[in-house]
Structure formats: C-alpha cells, structure tokens
Amino acid sequence: MMKYFRTHILVCVDPECLSKGAHDILDSLNDELVATGLIDEVQVLETSRIGACSQGPEMMVYPEGVHYAGMSVDDIPYLVEEHFLKGRIAKKFILPIKSTKDEELSAPTAKEIRVVLRNCGEIDPENIEEYIARDGYMALAKVITEMSQDDVINEIKKSGIRGRGGAGFPTHLKWKFTQREQSDIRYVICNADEGDPGAFMNRRVLESDPHSVIEGMIIAAYAIGASQGYVYCRAEYPIAVKTLNIAIQQAKNLGLLGENIMGSDFSFELEVRMGAGAFVCGEETALMNSIEGKRGEPRPRPPFPAVRGLWKKPTNINNVETYANVPQIILKGADWFASMGTEKSKGTKTFAMAGDINHTGLIEVPMGITLREIIFDIGNGIRDNKEFKAIQTGGPMGGCLPKQYLDLPVDYESLIQAGSMMGSGGMIVMDEDTCMVDIARFFMEFTQEESCGKCTPCRVGTKRILDILERICAGHGRQGDIEQLEMLCSEIKQDSLCGLGQGAPNPVESTLKHFRDEYEAHILEKRCPAKVCKALIRYQIIENTCTGCTVCARNCPVNAISGERHQPHFIDPDTCIRCGICVQVCNFNAIEIV
C-alpha cells in the first residue's frame, strides 16, 4: 500500500551542494524528523541541481514551494521546528525563486518551454512511482498495445525531431535504416558521453529524470526490433550512473523492462556502460569501439552503424535528449511537437549557458529563438554591464559568432550557414575583454589533446595549428601565419576521418573570419587588443595617481616594483611576470595594462 506524506523535502545532491555538506544536511534532517515525531509525515528526497548550488546546500519544500539555501547542520533543528512543527516559513533561509546570482534558473522564463526538462527538480529520480504519476510509461503502453513498428516510426517522422547530439540527422531515418536491415540482432545505444567543456544537459536529465530516457529507448527498441540496449555514460558522472542503474532495476521490477514487457511478446534488456572520459568517444563509431572493449577510435563510414554497428549488427544511436523527447511525442502527438520550432528544426532544445553572462545554467527553448533573446532575455545580459563580443555555439568544435549575428534564429541550418553549429547544446558567451586569438588557441588545445591520433590530418594538423596560435599569442607571430592557418583548417576539415577532426578548425576559421583584425594586431603590431596575452601586454603605474603606499611592491611575487614610500613607483617590465596581483591589491586604480 502506497504511503502518503503531507510534506516533501527535496535536497539537492549536485556535486557542488555535496561539497558544501548536503549529505550531512540529509542525515540531520532525518534525525531531527525522527526526534520530533514527524518522520511519518515528512518525506526527505534527493534531487539534482534545484537552481542555486552556488548558495547551497539547498532544498525545496513542497507543497509550499519554498526554496531554502545556505543552511548548516546546526540550522536544521530550528528549520524543522519553525517550518514543520509550527508551520511558519523560516525567512532567514528563504531564497527567491530567481536570483541574479543563481547558477541555474530555478523556473523557466516566459520564453522557455520545458519538454526534456519537464520533470527535473520536480520528482524523486530514484522513485519510479513519481515518474509514473506524471504519465510515465504511458507512451510505452500506447506503443505496445496500439501501434506497430511502422506506426511508431511514422509518428517520429511526422514530429520532425532531429538528433539532438549535434549533427541534426532526422531521427526517423536512423530508426528506419536500422529496422529494415536483415539481422537476427539489433542494438539501441544512448550516447550519454557529453564531453563538451561546460556542458551538462545530458547529465541533468540522467540525474533528475532517468526514466524518460529509458522509456524513450524502449520505444526505439520496439520500433526497430532491438532486444538489447546500452547507455554509454562517462565515469565522471557517478550520480548519473547510480541513478540510471537504480531506475533500470525499478523498471525491471515492474515488468517495464526485460522479458515480455507489459505482458507482450516484446523483450528488451538495458545496461549502463561507462566510458573513461575520452572526448572522441562522443563520436558514434568510437563509442561502439569502446563498448566492445576496444580502443576508442572512429571507424571509416560507410558502413554506417544502422547497417553495421555494434558487434557488426544494425545499431541505432541517439543521445539522451533525443530519447527523452520520444515519450512526449508518442503521448501528446507529433503535431504537438511539430507546432514548436521552425519548419526544418522542430521542437525545443536544451542549452548549457556559460561564460560572461548573468544567468548561467540550463535552459530549454523552442528552436528558432534568436541569440539575442537567449543572451539578454533569458540570460539577463552580459555580466558587469560590459559589451557583448561573441558567442560560441556547439562546444569546442563550434564557431564564434559576433554581435551582428545576435538576431540569428537558433536552428540547425542557420547556425551552419553562419559558420557555427548546434552541437549538443553548449553556449559560451564572451564579453569585450575576451581575446579571440586566445580563445581559438584554447579550444584548439582541447581538441588537439583529445585527438585519438588515428588519422594524420587530425593528429598532425591540429598540432600544427596549435603551434602557430601559441606562437602568435606569445608575440612571435609572423607574416603568412594567417594564410597558413586558413590552409591547414581547410585541409583538416576535408581529410579527417571523424567529426572531431572535421570540426576542430571551426573556432579558428570563425575567429579568422570575424576577428581578423585581432590576428593582425597580434602579428603585425605585437599587440593584444583585449589585453589578455601576457607576452603582448605590460603593466605600468600611473605616475599622477600612485600614492606610494607600497602595497603593490609588498605583494609582487618577483619584486618587480620599486620606489620610495609616498613617491610614485615603477614596474620593471623585464622582471614583471604579468600575474596581475598588483592591479588586484592597488586601492587607487593606479596601475594600468598597456
């Protein structure tokens, strides 16, 4: 018999909250509820990333919808007595539903539509009953009792959903190609590798709503005739792996997974395989090699996975977000899903906002929304009221788009035409103080390090590009470097074996296109306009402003600052290591970067 509680407390167990003592808060809450006799009335649950981890540990109390944050273990007795015994809000811990300092938006803005994130932060991810209470597995029941394989694929086709892993390939075509192959065994794989720096869309869904992904995979398996599935998740996501395994076992216990699902003739097994964190394993053929226990290297295509995939059998691969959309499409209908987005890019898309923006974190918006709306309406603009300079979409292999693209609709075709890409959903916003040459160097360093080394264009070409960019940033750029970079980018994109090499030059190409003047300033004038590249800047003391307080000299780690007390000081440019400590400690704004 199901037990009912009058109050539920959702405690965030995101890694940042855990580092601030969330587990201790959980233990203390349970102990205090036992001591006060409330343990049968108040249920304490774990959830991921409620919205203000930077001010955590945090919790949400339902049905009141009160958001508490910043408590310590010593505060728990007061909280339990005040809120749960006396029924009064503990105002000293309350947090507004939205705060400009929040790491992640707690509630959707007017421009957001939550489909994939609909249950995140709303249910206990380790309790299948809460997912079922929100129409969970109803889509699976509909598929098994009312629809044929072709019916399911046609509904997915009608919805217009495209793969959310980055390439945007029509989902129904992948399913159809896999279904039509003559084989006694077919596989379904969920790509949950998510290796883009700063991206955590997949992680959030797996930690907060794992059953939506599992249900989507079961429906896909039914449609293509697969009997075995794998979720490939990086080992750096321990909470996601734990939550997934719990959810899989719960689904098996209820007959929603395994043999004869819901009493039908359809059977499907699912297990989690962990990756070791290689970025290249986000590429589907390298991912399959990894599952098979081989080195994570891409395979030549064709044949594509739908024809010859895992263990040489037809295989369908989609990412977390794609599968999470499927139950809602089946349940609410293809027309409902297709009503959102644009003509060629249907539905919604999740993005991880990072960089120089006031509201960082996850958002889910309809396709076709503009970059301006995302940055300024949802993200609340640029931090510290600085000027917007560029945004990179698509992760480390995406392009950097300047302010003239702010009104660009965010869909697959528009981003590609602009020289960028959708990718899995990473967005990095940059302000006026960003050096675009240094940004290109940063992302090339990442992709070069993550290259598996199998093909020469990627292994050698990316290293050559990185060498040139490092030389330019170090003040040793020379005539012909820009042309050399353009040639290398073209060759690497054309000749590389997989998407990593083919996309690696994008940050360089886009910054060369839109910020060529910065490259020229670095090379020809030996100057970094953004004053970021250490070799091309120097610190100097403003003579009329310096009071001779000696604070800068006393804090300089290399003794590069000299001068008499109460007299203007001097920085020796040959000794200075450009660490910036002097600027941080000066109370009179007497030090400038030139």
For the chain, what is the mean pLDDT?
Answer: 92
State the Cα–Cα distance between residues 553 and 316, nearest whole angstrom.
63
How far apart, in whole angstroms, are the C-alpha atoms of residue 501 and residue 529? 30
Both structure tokens of 45: 């649950």
Looking at residue 168, the DSSP 8-state letter turns out to be -
**Which residues, other chains included, contact 95 with Cβ-Cβ below 8 Å and sequence gap of 6+?**
52, 55, 58, 67, 68, 69, 70
Question: What are the structure tokens assigned to 517, written together?
Answer: 């003047």
pLDDT at residue 104 is higher than 70: no
Closest CA to 41 of 32, 54, 28: 32
Region 242-248: mean pLDDT is 96
Q: Using CA atoms, how far apart are residues 529 and 437, in angstroms rounded to an integer?
A: 10
DSSP sequence for 51-83: S-GGG-SEEEEETTTEEEES--GGGHHHHIIII
Q: Is the CB of residue 2 less than 8 Å from the CB of residue 52?
A: no
Going from the C-alpha of 3 to that of each of 43, 44, 121, the distances in angstroms are 10, 13, 21
What are the tens digits of pLDDT across the range 48-95?
Answer: 667 677 788 999 898 888 999 999 999 999 999 999 999 999 999 987
Please check whether residue 287 is in contact with residue 195, taking contact to mean a CB–CB distance below 8 angstroms: no
Task: Residue 231: name the closest of 254, 196, 205 by CA.
Answer: 205
Helix (H), strand (E) at residue 539: strand 539-541
* Domains within the chain, CATH numbers bracketed: 7-93 (3.40.30.10), 128-338 (3.40.50.11540), 348-431 (3.10.20.600), 436-524 (1.20.1440.230), 538-593 (3.30.70.20)
In the structure, what pLDDT confidence band is assigned to residue 5 with cuts at 50, 70 and 90?
A: confident
**β pairing state of 388-393 and 400-402:** antiparallel
Q: Return d(Cα 275, Cα 290) in angstroms, integer.
A: 7
**Reported confidence tier of residue 214, pLDDT bands at 50, 70, 90:** very high
Tokens 């310096």 correspond to 546
Comparing C-alpha atoms, which of 124, 379, 145 is closest to residue 263?
145
Strands 42-47 and 591-593: unpaired
Please provide residue 370's backbone torsions phi and psi, each rounded to the nearest 5 degrees.
Answer: -85, 160
**Exposure letters 205-214 (e unless 16+ CB within 10 A, then b):** bbbbbbbbbb
Amino acid at 345: S
Q: What share of the chain is helix, strand, coil (3-state, %, to 5)?
A: 45, 15, 40
CA 593 distance to own-chain centroid: 34
- Report H helices in 418-480: 436-450, 456-473
Q: Residue 326's pLDDT is what?
A: 98
pLDDT at 3: 64
Which tokens go with 287? 């991912």
Asked if residue 365 lies in contact with residue 351, where contact means CB atoms within 8 angstroms, the answer is: yes
Contact 215, 139 (CB under 8 A): yes
Over residues 250-263, mean pLDDT:
97
pLDDT tens per residue across span 480-526:
999 999 999 999 999 999 999 999 999 999 999 999 999 999 999 99
What would the 3-class secondary structure string for 263-323 be?
HCCCCEEEEEEEECCCHHHHCHHHHHHHHCCCCCCCCCCCCCCCCCCHHHCCEEEEEHHHH
pLDDT digits (tens, 9 = 90+) for 422-440: 988 899 999 999 999 999 9
Is residue 98 predicted with pLDDT exceeding 50?
no
pLDDT of residue 124: 85
DSSP code, position 93: G
Helical segments of 498-585, H only: 499-503, 506-514, 516-524, 551-555, 581-585
- SS3 state of residue 14: coil
The secondary structure of residue 85, as a DSSP letter, is I
Give the rounded percent of residues in the chain with a pLDDT score beyond 70.
97
Question: Rg of the chain over CA atoms, in angstroms?
Answer: 27
104-118, 173-187, 264-278, 291-305: segment of lowest average pLDDT: 104-118
Question: Residue 418 carries which DSSP code?
Answer: T
Question: Using one digit for the tens of pLDDT, what is the confidence trace for 319-341?
Answer: 999 999 999 999 999 999 999 99
Element (DSSP H or E) covering residue 201 = helix 201-208
Contact in structure between 223 and 149 (CB atoms under 8 Å): yes
Which amino acid type is present at position 421?
M
d(C-alpha 594, C-alpha 592), whole Å:
6
Residue 328 identity: Q
**Residue 574 burial class via C-beta count within 10 angstroms: exposed 0-12, middle 13-18, buried 19 and up:** exposed
Give the pLDDT band of residue 198 (cuts 50, 70, 90). confident
